[in-house]
Amino acid sequence: MAERDAPQAGPTGRLFRAGFHALSALRGARAFHPNGLLLKGELHALRSDEIALPPEPVRVTVRMSKGAGLPGRVPDALGLAVRIPAVDGAPWDLTLTTSAGRVLPRPARSWTAGRYSSLLPYRTNDELVWLSARAETPRHAEASLDALSRLVKEGPVTYLLETVRANGHRKSCATLTLHEVDEDASRPAFDPMLNAPPGWELRPRWLTGLRERAYEGSREGR
């Protein structure tokens, strides 16, 4: 069955856009993941046959955040966003969320427990591929931004990035190492809908269309 076109200007899309605009304006911040910590890191590609990652280790900007903006150490859907420098075209904004399986967000008690997932798959080379991450650093920090800051200041924190097929097959593709808190940097707006590698498209289209309306509303509301 063919996928429906994304609801670019339909009533549902307009409702999403207006709702996220209002929430973002009320918060004076992102509608989701309003509170976060910006970090300096390094991405080291392990293989380049699947994803157009820079062949040499590169510096990346990372933002880790609490999805609903819950206070302190209260468990939340934790976010891991990475801006990867462009290899061919625009930079890639990879956004992952703590999850149950591949598609369902799940609140987490620690920044280094469980898995992060792109939740939506990318269509590339006629197959669906999710992106996933899990911490390789044995140290743990409760789900507060202060605890995360202390964790990174104690020493590097490393995540393993993987591709995940529909059949569950995983393949390591890169390591992400967080070195320090970025105290003075500007606050980039990570947007996986605008910034994706050539040949990679988030699916399904109808859901990504709604997601883009939400991102538009959130950007305009801020």
Query: Across the chain, how many H-helices and E-strands are there?
Result: 3, 11
pTM, entire model:
0.80
CB atoms within 10 A of CB 43: 23
- In this predicted structure, what is the pLDDT of residue 35? 83
DSSP state of 68: S
Q: Which two tokens stand for residue 143?
A: 């789900």
| 184 Cβ contact partners less than 8 Å away, ≥ 6 residues apart | none
Measure the N-to-C terminal CA separation of the chain; round to a whole number of Å. 38
Q: Which two tokens stand for residue 137?
A: 């650093």
- Maximum separation of any 2 CA atoms in the chain, in Å: 52
Domain 37-215 has CATH 2.60.40.1180: no
**Is 109 exposed, middle or buried (CB count within 10 Å of its CB: 0-12, 13-18, 19+)?**
middle
CB atoms within 10 A of CB 143: 22
CA distance 45 to 47: 6
Q: Is the predicted pLDDT of residue 19 greater than 90, yes or no?
A: no
CA distance 152 to 77: 20
Domain extent listing, the chain: 37-215
Q: Is the predicted pLDDT of residue 170 greater than 80, yes or no?
A: yes
59-114 pLDDT, tens digit each? 999 999 999 889 999 999 999 999 998 777 678 999 999 999 899 999 999 999 99
Helix 205-221 × helix 11-27 angle, to 10°: 40
Kindly report which listed range (14-18, 99-103, 175-179) carries the lowest average pLDDT score.
Answer: 14-18
116-161 pLDDT, tens digit each? 999 999 999 899 999 999 999 999 999 999 999 999 999 999 999 9
Residue type, 220: E
